Structure 1
Amino acid sequence: MGLGCEVRDNGQVSFTVWAPHCTSVVLEFARGPDAVQFGEMDVSRTEDGGFWSVTAGKEVKLGDLYRFRMETEGGTECFYRRDPYARYTQGGDSKWCVITDRGESFAWTDWEPRPFDENVIYEMHIGSFTKEGTLEAAIKKLDHVAGLGFTALELMPMAEFSHATESWGYNPRQLLAIHPEYGSPDMMRKFVNRAHELKMGVIIDVVLHHGSVDGNELWDYDGWSHEGGIYHERAGDTPWGKQFAFWKTEVMDMLRAACSLWLGSEYKCDGLRFDSVNDLPPHVVTNLTWAMHEQHPGRILTAEVTPENPQALHDYGLDSLWVHSGYFDIIQQHRALGRGHHGGGDWAEGWNLPRLRTVMALHYGFESPTQCVKYILGSHDQVGCSHGGGHYEDYKMIGGQHRYAADQFGGGRADTGAVNAVRLWYGANIGASGLVMMFMGSEWHQHGWWNPDEHHGLDWSLGEDDVGKKMCSLVQDANALREKYVCLRKGGVRILHEDRANGIMASERTFDTERIVIIVNAGQGGFVGGDYGIWVEYGRFEQIFSTQDPKYSGWDDCPSNTEDIVEYDGKIHLRIPHQCTLFLLQK
């Protein structure tokens, strides 16, 4: 049985709703922005008793509004409900839903999802990506993202949510309706199609573990109020709201539909990111992932599991996990060593290279680069804050603050040392084993913290000044390396050299005949004489990338390695600028 509103080929529209405790259901119709009502129909209970269904004639058309008027046994008043399977609503407190098709007539551009290893991800919040905060406005800016060489967009939650709790999207009011302030289902299709035209996939962040505390359209849905009603009965609690009743077939059907919605023919997206999988029972996750792999092969299924545990990939049927630890390890190192001081000069331990090893390579238990999503400059969780920027206990090890990377590494985009560090670590992220991700605004050293309010959304003017343009240039060139060299996407990692006192590590990525050596100098000391030795075992190399190149706002007198770099007795000898990542290609 198809739930919700479906427009049939003959122009008729069917409506089906799950409401087992109702004694009567009436479907009301309205038209226009003021919802002028023009008709109603009695809805009949189906044979199994829990569902109600009716078919309307051609007098009801696309764009019209509908809602359910319900009664329960012993009820003295009627109450109104939305369709839990609605794709589009009026938003706010309105119970009116919009009759929409499911994209059957949309003219899609031919597109096949990219192989997982090609994902270089740009994380985006539609509501603050542009001043307008809409899909239509975002479409006009996608050339910028594609021009930087990103191959995938990851959208923070798109399902309708309640602004009363927060404005990031992680408090869903219902699971299949697009957030109306962002745009219509057809505009979402235009967004995805434009991304595909620009050779970028689209990954959607889905929140399935709880309903919104405020404005939850599924709460006490059919008038039965025990423990939140049919969608929440006997469910547990999370820090953000009550879970769904995962033990019910009807609820699991809705969750699968909420996932398939994005990956199927309605939106043709390229993957999902499951938020806070820790708050979902394991059997629920596997039920969803197995269904999505079967119904939509080739789509990447990623998740947030905290702390990241590679066993979750196998237990939950996931393709990849977000890796928070690399970000915290790097930020903590900078703060512990004292920004502006040489190497380990003010901390006896010096650089904690075991942590840097797992940033560049894979944590124990991960088997391939595509199983990790790494974001050394921070994701929305680290950059964003809705309470003034931070000072939270769980961020104590990095100063208790949520900030863009330029502020975390120093004094912001006007601080040479801070922007050096941002370039250094994005270069390291490109060379590290794993899928690369950057949060919007990091490409031009946005400062402060992110939040969707008018003061902390994306500031496009920062991409127009010299600092912003040069960082964008670095991002573009770094991303191009991932596109050009397969070893940076698929290759294994071997640590070649470690210098704890100076904060220098060298590793290699190899695949077939390709070999690139990545040198990370995280310290303040530079070696400009051309005599810094790194063991590489064999080979002749050329320098193909330096984050301290002057064209990226690097050191004007940067000591480049312009001639061939020849191994002698297993070592190469180099000029290594301070706070710099170098890429050397074996010839």
Structure 2
Amino acid sequence: MAILRDIGANYTPDKGTVFTVWAPEAKKVEVQLHKPEPIQVTLQREAFGYWTGLSEMANPGTRYTFVLDDETHRPDPASRYQPDGPHEASAVVDQSFNWTDKQWKGLPLEQLIIYELHVGTFSEEGTFEGVIKHLSELKDLGITAIEIMPIAQFPGDRNWGYDGVYPFATQNSYGGPEGLKKLVDACHAQGLSVVLDVVYNHMGPEGNYLNDFGPYFTDKYHTPWGNALNFDDAHSDHVRNFFLQNALMWLRDFHVDALRLDAVHAIYDTGAKHFLQELREQVSQLEEQEGRPYLLIAESDQSDVRLINSIEKGGYGIDAQWFDDYHHAIHTLVTGETEGYFEDYGKPEQLQKALEHTFVYNGLYSEHRKKTLGTDATGVPAKRFVIGSQNHDQVGNRMLGERLTELVSFEMLKPVAGLVLLSPYVPMLFMGEEYGEKNPFLYFVSHTDKDLVEAVRKGRKEEFAYFASKGEAPDPQSEDTFNRSKLQRSYTSDEQQNKLREFYKELIRLRKTAPALAKPDKPNMQVKMEDEQLVLHMIHHGQNPSLYCLFNISNQPQTINLLAAAKGSWKTVLHSADQKWGGPGADAQEILQEGATVNLPAASMIIHEHQI
């Protein structure tokens, strides 16, 4: 395993700041300290093109830039803070913080109930402090982890976060590094784990000065965002060092519990040791040093178990991955949408397959991709897959950013919630779904480059040209687009929304307390899809008593029989049509025998508990 090299500005009290930057082609590198009178500090060249030097004049808050060959002035690629945005000077940061989470060791995968949020739109303030104010609500709901969309410094103050250009610098408009540490500490005080979304497959277009320092990119591969980051070409050791150090910084210095790795299928690396494997090895070493576990969760659209297979089995050793097949199987069945990548889905049996075997495309031909896709994940524990019925991608990449609330009936939201929260997989909610938020989650940016703004607008219009009948895509640069994406939290005044939130709360409580769901997994579950009726049977046979869940995801009432294998008596413990959950009223039998006939209202779910 490679020995990593410190980079950036590392401040030590009483000693000053050591500056280190990788610039292999430069003949001379200086640091300019932006004091009332600028101070130049000449750096010494070391092996492989690293430049380093100590300044006793650089203290926390000191602004600085690197000067390459007496000409090019640039912020630090590994800057910890960009107080004035990506085009201005970096600031020295003191990493010390008065942590109160010394006893916190994080939560294991099987205990995660994740809540994905975007800092800018989650609260009225749009800051880390704004998130802290609402943590008690998430705790009350039953959430055990928040997943924060990327917070690496981006241009302006409105962005999803995937246009970040300083991976080490915490977004200034959110509250900077101090604000993030306060949020993580507050989460741990509430018993909440923190998952941070990081982007190692591309960099944003504005404020991206990496090419001025060295070959961070390669033209060997191309991504939807341009040239790929250089993980396997000449000089790639030092690009890998850059991103490995970044991952370790979030875990070690910010006490983050897990990293969600964005679109790892766009991390191109044909070297002997894939970047993701090296990342896992470095994080394992940090675990030994810190005496606690950290989780790595990858996003991939390749349905490939190599990601999560152990290194000994030839895999990369990632702990878990996002699993879109489950979302697509549910979404197509309840909305009827089959455009774009949804054309590969929409068959009722795919929902059963996603529960029994995980990947729907496990070596099958994909009509949308025009190729055979996927591997078999049947034997992989369910806790290693993260699922949801909504997320930032599936909502925000729609032209009008509609949530499921706008696409299906109120009653249908409840069985969909049950399919996520009562599955054996790790459930993830998207902010606001628990009460049926009506505001959209739109794509928004705040670039300062006018040409780039126009290019983004043009790109969005072209992307959704075939939706012309629905109107125009909202302007991503408009502040109104951003403001429309903020949560209203209207459940506090809307009785129906509050009942939906209470329903989510009850499902989460069941997941946490029902013995049958103590360790949910595929071998401890029996499923059967009634294709014509669109009714799913899901029986959890973990510890007694078993739970028998029925989901009617059609818009018609259905009559079915309990499976013959469900021996004995069953008591109804939850019915989504009950008025207390905002339903029209339920007329359900309290006790059922094996093989009994059950009447399911349209768009409903019922949970039965085995009577011992």
How high is the TM-score relative to the length of structure 1?
0.83
2:232 equivalent to 1:243? no
State how far apart, in whole Å, the 2-side matches of 1:3 and 1:432 are. 43
The aligned counterpart of 1:65 is: 63
State how far apart, in whole Å, the 2-side matches of 1:495 and 1:49 are. 57
2:596 equivalent to 1:576? no
1:177-226 Cα shifts (integer Å, max 9, x gaps): 111111121211110111111111111111111122222031322xxxxx
- Aligned to 1:83, the other structure's residue is in SS state coil
State how far apart, in whole Å, the 2-side matches of 1:548 and 1:212 are. 47
Give the letter aligned to residue 201 of structure 2. H
After superposition, residues 491-570 of structure 1 pair within 5 angstroms as 491=521, 492-495=523-526, 497-526=528-557, 532-556=561-585, 558-562=586-590, 564-567=591-594
State how far apart, in whole Å, the 2-side matches of 1:421 and 1:49 are. 59
State how far apart, in whole Å, the 1-side matches of 2:38 and 2:336 are. 68
The aligned counterpart of 1:333 is: 333
Give the letter aligned to residue 115 of structure 2. Y
More helix by share: 2
The aligned counterpart of 2:161 is: 169
State how far apart, in whole Å, the 2-side matches of 1:93 and 1:115 are. 36
Give the letter aligned to residue 24 of structure 2. P
Q: Is the 8 A contact 2:437 2:489 kept in 1?
A: no
Q: 1:249 to 1:486 in 2, by over 3 A?
A: farther
Give the letter aligned to residue 507 of structure 2. A
The aligned counterpart of 1:208 is: 200
State how far apart, in whole Å, the 1-side matches of 2:244 and 2:401 are. 34
Q: 1:311 to 1:572 in 2, by over 3 A?
A: farther
The aligned counterpart of 1:471 is: 500
Q: 1:127 to 1:352 in 2, by over 3 A?
A: same
2:393 equivalent to 1:381? yes
After superposition, residues 139-538 of structure 1 pair within 5 angstroms as 139-162=132-155, 167-221=159-213, 229-234=214-219, 236-247=221-232, 248-264=236-252, 266-282=253-269, 283-296=274-287, 298-314=293-309, 315-336=315-336, 352-363=347-358, 364-366=376-378, 367-376=380-389, 378-385=390-397, 389-390=398-399, 402-409=401-408, 418-447=409-438, 449-451=440-442, 453-488=482-517, 489-491=519-521, 492-495=523-526, 497-526=528-557, 532-538=561-567
Give the letter aligned to residue 316 of structure 2. Y
2:17 equivalent to 1:13? yes
Q: 1:255 to 1:49 in 2, by over 3 A?
A: closer
Deviation of 1:554 (Å): 1.0
Q: 1:80 to 1:290 in 2, by over 3 A?
A: same
The aligned counterpart of 1:394 is: none
State how far apart, in whole Å, the 1-side matches of 2:528 and 2:205 are. 52
State how far apart, in whole Å, the 2-side matches of 1:560 and 1:217 are. 64
Q: Which structure 2 segments of 5+ residues have no match?
A: 310-314, 339-345, 359-375, 445-481
Q: Is the 8 A contact 2:78 2:169 kept in 1?
A: yes
State how far apart, in whole Å, the 2-side matches of 1:582 and 1:156 are. 34
- Aligned to 1:316, the other structure's residue is in SS state coil
State how far apart, in whole Å, the 1-side matches of 2:500 and 2:29 are. 59
The aligned counterpart of 1:414 is: none
Q: Which structure 1 segments of 5+ residues have no match?
A: 31-35, 72-76, 222-228, 339-350, 391-400, 410-417
Q: Percent identity?
A: 22
1:296-336 Cα shifts (integer Å, max 9, x gaps): 36222111111433343223322222121222222222344
Give the letter aligned to residue 112 of structure 2. N
Give the letter aligned to residue 261 of structure 2. F
Paired residue total = 526
Deviation of 1:174 (Å): 2.0
Deviation of 1:120 (Å): 0.7
State how far apart, in whole Å, the 2-side matches of 1:560 and 1:197 are. 42
Q: Is the 8 A contact 1:20 1:51 kept in 2?
A: yes
State how far apart, in whole Å, the 2-side matches of 1:441 and 1:208 are. 28
- Aligned to 2:217, the other structure's residue is in SS state coil
The aligned counterpart of 1:48 is: 47
Q: Is the 8 A contact 1:427 1:547 kept in 2?
A: no
The aligned counterpart of 1:348 is: none
Aligned with residue 130 of structure 1, among 123, 126, 129: 123
- Aligned to 2:200, the other structure's residue is in SS state coil
Q: 1:60 to 1:496 in 2, by over 3 A?
A: closer
- Aligned to 2:153, the other structure's residue is in SS state coil
State how far apart, in whole Å, the 2-side matches of 1:574 and 1:39 are. 79
- Aligned to 2:212, the other structure's residue is in SS state coil
The aligned counterpart of 1:86 is: 79
Q: Is the 8 A contact 2:18 2:52 kept in 1?
A: yes
Which stretch of the first structure deviates more once superposed, 423-432 or 318-327? Answer: 318-327
Give the letter aligned to residue 353 of structure 2. T
Q: 1:471 to 1:67 in 2, by over 3 A?
A: same
State how far apart, in whole Å, the 1-side matches of 2:604 and 2:350 are. 18
Q: 1:186 to 1:235 in 2, by over 3 A?
A: farther
**Aligned CA-pair RMSD:** 2.5
Q: Is the 8 A contact 2:415 2:603 kept in 1?
A: yes
- Aligned to 1:37, the other structure's residue is in SS state coil
Deviation of 1:425 (Å): 0.7
Q: 1:431 to 1:500 in 2, by over 3 A?
A: same
1:239-268 Cα shifts (integer Å, max 9, x gaps): 11322221321111111011111211x111
Deviation of 1:360 (Å): 3.8
Q: 1:181 to 1:317 in 2, by over 3 A?
A: same
The aligned counterpart of 1:226 is: none
Q: Is the 8 A contact 1:271 1:301 kept in 2?
A: yes
How high is the TM-score relative to the length of structure 2?
0.80
Q: Is the 8 A contact 2:440 2:484 kept in 1?
A: no
The aligned counterpart of 2:448 is: none
Deviation of 1:9 (Å): 4.3
State how far apart, in whole Å, the 2-side matches of 1:497 and 1:82 are. 58
Deviation of 1:271 (Å): 0.9
- Aligned to 1:128, the other structure's residue is in SS state helix
State how far apart, in whole Å, the 2-side matches of 1:573 and 1:536 are. 14
Q: Is the 8 A contact 2:524 2:542 kept in 1?
A: no
Give the letter aligned to residue 307 of structure 2. A
- Aligned to 2:167, the other structure's residue is in SS state coil
